[in-house]
Amino acid sequence: MTQEKLCVAVLGAGKWAEFAHIPGWLRDPRAEVVVLADVEAQRAEALASGFAIPETTNDWQAAISRADVDVVDIVTPSHTHHELARAALESGKHVLCEKPVAYDFRETLEAAALAKKRSLKTKLGFTFRYSPGIQYAKSLIDEGFVGRPYFFNGYEQNSQWLDPDEPLRQAQIESDTKTIQTQSLEGYGAPIIDIGHWWVGCDLTRVTGIMQNFIPERRVRGFEGRRRMNIDDGDVFIGEYTNGTLTSIQSSFVTIGNYPGVEARIYGEKGAIICRLVEEFGVAETIRIATPDDVEFKEQTIPERFYPAAGHARESWRSLFYANLIKDFIDEIQDEGERNQGNFVDGAWVQETINAVEIAHHEKRWVSLPLPR
């Protein structure tokens, strides 16, 4: 690209836009947020003033249709993602979208095909793929440290909603409370499913799993009192990758522990890596490695090259990890090459896995992948 800066339209003025997305864009001198859109005009104006964003609007269509906008960043409630992402791609914009793009993986694949047709780059908000520790671990895997992988174990868990009176921020209010709906699996399982796919380097061939509703009644933002919420606030599934690697993945927001609660473990013929992304004692993440000749896991110092500009281990994971994501997306757009990691195709793969685990739970069986298109 010939222009000096990418011009960005951010859709959504909530807390995640405030703590991660907007700081990530502003941290990189190659980008500029030119407009912030939100259905609540006053909320957009208040957030924009804090970041010196020049314009706000409550009309998302006006934001994405601007001729000066190169990238649309979607940080709105998940049920709006698909409509906004497709509209942005139709307008010729590169798109960063929080997960999921759609609840059905087929719709995400359609959006990915549209992006490819228009030579546009996409990226999902797989925040933890971009942590310095996860990136360092992937470099070790690529260098052959693990060798042939045998197992991938993944966890995404914290106690954010262990208290039923802590209101859920986003929840699909369903009239059918007899059938368990996905909540943790979709919102919390997705990032660790993505890391497993990326680290192991191939697709899943089959899965089976179970979703559990540990706390049946809880408060939901925007509603009075507690409501019957038959959602999975905990789940676990096992699976097999096409290369024979076995996996177990657990996600929950009622398991005691701090944010973000991610732990990725890979064990292979030559080595093993445990990467723990849990903000404890002022440190955002730790990585430990072991080998057959040195089986006690030893903590490693993450090389400086995996941090964003001015980033450090005691920075908040929200801004630290997302700065890497934004930097990577700008690199991909400006390089104009084929490289585009963590894109809508990856998002569709993760969503297909989630959809398969849903089927496995409801039908109490193994489910083969890929699912029918």
Q: Where are the domains of the chain?
A: 6-120, 129-313+347-368
Residue pLDDT, tens place only, 133-152: 999 999 999 999 999 999 99
Q: Which alpha helices (DSSP H) does 206-337 contain, by range?
A: 317-335
C-alpha 125/C-alpha 122 separation (Å) is 10
pLDDT value at 69 more than 60: yes
* CATH tag, 6-120: 3.40.50.720
C-alpha 179/C-alpha 85 separation (Å) is 29
SS3 content of the chain, % helix, strand, coil (to 5): 35, 25, 40
CATH architecture classification, 129-313+347-368: 2-Layer Sandwich (3.30)
| 3-class secondary-structure state, position 153 | strand
Query: How confident is the model at residue 223, as a pLDDT?
Result: 87
Query: What value does the mean pLDDT take over residues 197-220?
Result: 96
pLDDT value at 2 more than 80: no
pLDDT value at 175 more than 60: no
Measured at the CA of 345, the angle between CA 342 and CA 346, to 5 degrees, comes to 40
- Pick the more confident residue, 333 or 223: 333
Q: What is the DSSP string of 1-33?
A: --SSSEEEEEE--SHHIIIIIHHHHHHSTTEEE
Residue pLDDT, tens place only, 337-365: 999 999 999 999 999 999 999 999 999 99
Residue pLDDT, tens place only, 13-29: 999 999 999 999 999 99
